[in-house]
Amino acid sequence: MQEATFQMELPKKAFITNFSMIIDGVTYPGNIKQKDAAQQQYSAAVARGESAGLVKATGRKMEQFQVSVSVAPAAKVTFELVYEELLMRRLGVYELLLKVQPQQLVKHLQMDIHIFEPQGISFLETESTFMTNELADALTVSQNQTKAHIRFKPTLSQQQKPAGQQDTVVDGDFIIRYDVNRTLSGGSIQIENGYFVHYFAPEGLSTIPKNVIFVIDTSGSMMGKKIQQTREALIKILEDLRPEDHFNLISFSSEASQWKPLLVPASTQNVEEAKKYANSIQARGGTNINNAMLMAVQLLDTATREEQLPLGSVSLLLLLTDGDPTVGETNPKKIQKNVKEAIGGQYSLFCLGFGFDVSYAFLEKLALDNGGLARRIYEDSDSALQLQDFYQEVANPLLTTVSFEYPGNAVEEVTQDNFPLFFKGSEMVVAGKLRAQSPDVLSATVSGQLPTENITFQMESQVAKQEEEFQKPKYIFHGFMERLWAYLTIHQLLERMVSTSDAEKQALETQALGLSLNYSFVTPLTSMVVTKPEGQEQSQVAEKPVENGRTVFRHRAMGHKRPRLPGGVALHDGGHDVPNRKSGRSGPLIPFYEKLMSERNPDVGLLSGIVGDYLDETMEETSPTAPPPAPIQAPTFILPLPGQSVDQLCVDIKSTPGPLLLLLSDPDQGLEVTGEYKMEKAQFSWIEVTFKNPQLQVHVSPEHVVVTRDRRSSQYKWKETLFMVMPGLKMTMDKAGLLLFSSPDRVTIGLLSWDGPGQGLRLLLRDTDRFSSHVGGLLGRFYQGVAWGPPDATDDSKRTLWTRGFEFNATRKLKLDYQEGTPGTELSCWSIEL
């Protein structure tokens, strides 16, 4: 007998709809039941000491499903898991995230993604955290106007780690991003099997001016990295405000204080002042959410009443907090009631919960009560980016008071059809059921408000033509639009349950439960009982983890392994003293030798004698008569020269006109490279590469890489495998930390965080013959009309170099070549100083 384990990660927004095991031809299905009924079986399993929970949250976006079963020798077991998810458009793209973790070499491993979009696919890109150039051949992407097929099918040898290891290199994320063609009418109505789905995201609308108040928690618990990241994000967000926007800042701890007495226009001067204020905020004191929110609402009320705000503008409140209220009004229900009454449906409130010490349920209700939404900000090195990304989602309102209308004789049971705001890059989705005697053409009217006028969009869809269109592709689960309608309805009912009264909650729950059971969805109201062969754990239960309060998932893995040091040394854990296991005392981590000496008091003299002898011996051994030669340094830049088959130019910076440098600019290639060089450290604090087509900006610092694509930002660590294929550009990073941007007709740009001698950020260039005649910048000038003088008559290791009226003295020197990564190789090159 052997235990076979099936483990799969799926998106948090997805619902599991089926799981079954086929063992030697016998099917063991998962049965979806009301949670209370499943709970009895779950409790009985726990009482027998069996591990009953199958699903737990993992990371920010995923949940992990895991089940094990004992299998007889030579028996065959097949696991099948089906889950369904509506891909939501965010910042201009749909994103499908798949975790590929076979955890072993697999003889036949295949992944197929089929996309069918009748509107037409406008762009498609793939990204992977495990793909390498060796694996690239296993990935094929075929695409026409409306369909795409992505296949990943690696051979055994492609999966295998080098040097004959039996481990697989296939382990990580595979991401597909795409969007569809859009028109000013802004929509597409799709029909299949008696149900319709209406997608609405119009193009060509101007951004409505917004009035935004940032309400920032500066209590003591925000101290350290949180407040630092909040400052950093706030400064970037303020820079993104448009001149026609109005804004103010409120910081709160035990008391709330406002930056200005009124909302002010986002002029250059006001933004610069606000950035200084944001940079000065300190974390101390308690948490008075109630007073801060009421102060923010009062500011907007006054500005509206006194007509200080632009006509037709949109007013938003953004609350960022990391903890529960501790000062003033501390009853969450009373705060929710006070804020809802104060806002009175006039403004939208968005709540950001920083970390896991805040009650997410409290913030979610606060936001949903007031036409907004809540989002968790995870404590990590990219927390500032998470804040900026969320702001980008709500930064550009395009329409207000949006409503969808369909002929009453044509449709019934329509999902939510009124929305307070439509933001750039998002999408509204409405689904419903066609009546039995519905017309041949389904028409829809969408109306909304612009700052000074109303706007109406008309759409029509031929029922028979649409039905036929969705019957063709073999890979489509037929009846999926009906399931999409049910999925959307359940999600909206669950949301309404958060912000409704207790009296209405029961009716909504009954409705959501009925749909969940009818369509076999594992939702927060249902559970799936997994049956197994006789003699094994009889009932394991899969439940939907709920992001609620401080508990992210219900069944935590017990036990937390902590690295242990000898002698009972305590570790300092997250700002709290951890008990010393031997003494039972609490204390922060202290230097190991101090701890050792204090615990071996009688032998202190002996210990110090050993240390002293060791130091004397070391000093004797490492004190040569002559100082050691200085290590060969890596230059700031190594430039392959056009027309030179072997020679390279090594460039060092010795003086600059200022810290900000334009390194390369080629308008024909749509490329610009800039950087900030710190003379006192003799290294770059950051380098930024910007491409015009596709629109891409990559900002690298010695710590990490930030990729921004159409207002979406992602952060990566150096030496983290990355493989991204976009239309017209490929971006890769290998385990050595070499980040490359390549394209068949472009110069290849490379970036590296070099940790050898002369450490710091480095730039690499390949295929430099592809630069256009318009290339410029500090380095670009070396690719325009370079002329070399003859070697010096007295010293042939010296020459003169001219380019664009500049003259440089070049000397043949030995440098360290960083282009292949650490430790580098010796390189003889012509060296100049700028």
Range of the domain at 644: 637-833
Structural domain ending residue among the three candidates 395, 416, 435? 395
Residue 337 forms part of a structural domain? yes
Contact 741, 151 (CB under 8 A): no
pLDDT of residue 334: 95
Residue 218 forms part of a structural domain? yes
pLDDT of residue 112: 94
Contact 391, 318 (CB under 8 A): yes
Taking 90 as the threshold, does the pLDDT of residue 147 lie above it?
yes
Structural domain ending residue among the three candidates 395, 412, 442? 395
Give me the DSSP letters along 177-223.
EEEE---TT-EEEEEETTEEEEEE--SSPPPPPEEEEEEEE-SGGGT
pLDDT of residue 614: 38
Residue 806 forms part of a structural domain? yes
* Radius of gyration, alpha carbons of the chain: 31
Residue 383 forms part of a structural domain? yes
226 burial class (0-12, 13-18, 19+ CB within 10 angstroms)?
buried
pLDDT of residue 61: 86
pLDDT of residue 351: 95
Contact 777, 787 (CB under 8 A): no
pLDDT tens for 552-575 read 323 322 233 333 333 333 333 333
Contact 82, 415 (CB under 8 A): no
Contact 402, 448 (CB under 8 A): yes
What is the C-alpha to C-alpha distance for residues 351 and 625, in angstroms, rounded to an integer?
Answer: 67
> Around 433, how many Cα atoms within 13 Å sit in the side-chain half-sphere?
8
Taking 70 as the threshold, does the pLDDT of residue 420 lie above it?
yes
pLDDT of residue 184: 74
Among 38-42, 559-563, 706-710, 760-764, the minimum mean pLDDT is found in: 559-563
Taking 50 as the threshold, does the pLDDT of residue 779 lie above it?
yes
Residue 5 forms part of a structural domain? no
Which of the two residues, 491 and 531, has the higher pLDDT score?
491
CATH number at residue 338: 3.40.50.410
pLDDT tens for 226-237 read 999 999 999 999
pLDDT of residue 73: 85
pLDDT tens for 224-263 read 999 999 999 999 999 999 999 999 999 999 999 999 999 9
pLDDT of residue 256: 94
Phi, psi of 445 (to 5 degrees): -125, 125
pLDDT of residue 5: 84
Q: Which helix (H) or strand (E) holds 672?
A: strand 671-678
In total, how many domains does the chain have?
2
Mean pLDDT of all residues in 382-411:
92
Residue type (1 letter), 739: L
What is the C-alpha to C-alpha distance for residues 128 and 97, in angstroms, rounded to an integer?
Answer: 10
Taking 90 as the threshold, does the pLDDT of residue 487 lie above it?
yes
Taking 60 as the threshold, does the pLDDT of residue 616 lie above it?
no
pLDDT of residue 739: 92
Taking 90 as the threshold, does the pLDDT of residue 111 lie above it?
yes
Taking 90 as the threshold, does the pLDDT of residue 602 lie above it?
no
Which tokens belong to 517?
């059971």
Say what percent of the chain tops pLDDT 90: 50
pLDDT tens for 162-190 read 776 668 889 999 999 999 998 877 788 99
pLDDT tens for 322-350 read 988 999 999 999 999 999 999 999 999 99
Q: Is the dihedral of CA 772, 776, 780, 784 positive or negative?
A: positive
pLDDT of residue 286: 93
Mean pLDDT of all residues in 721-746:
90
Among 140-154, 265-279, 281-295, 523-537, the minimum mean pLDDT is found in: 523-537
Which residue is associated with the tokens 């989002």? Answer: 375
Say what percent of the chain tops pLDDT 70: 86
Structural domain ending residue among the three candidates 355, 370, 395? 395
> Whole-structure pTM over 0.75, yes or no?
yes
Averaged pLDDT score across all residues of the chain: 84
pLDDT tens for 428-439 read 999 999 998 878
pLDDT tens for 666-719 read 999 999 999 999 888 888 999 999 999 889 999 999 999 999 988 889 999 998
> Around 523, how many Cα atoms within 13 Å sit in the side-chain half-sphere?
26
Give the number of other Cβ atoms within 10 Å of residue 294's Cβ. 19
- 79 has which bridge partners? 21
Residue 683 forms part of a structural domain? yes
Residue 135 forms part of a structural domain? no
Taking 80 as the threshold, does the pLDDT of residue 595 lie above it?
no
Instruction: Report angle CA 64, 67, 68 to the nearest 5 degrees.
Output: 140
pLDDT of residue 686: 94
Residue 163 forms part of a structural domain? no
Mean pLDDT of all residues in 105-129:
93
> Around 550, how many Cα atoms within 13 Å sit in the side-chain half-sphere?
6
Query: Which of 105, 104, 113, 17 lies closest to 65, judged by CA?
Result: 17
- Position 531 confidence tier, pLDDT thresholds 50, 70, 90: confident
Taking 70 as the threshold, does the pLDDT of residue 778 lie above it?
yes
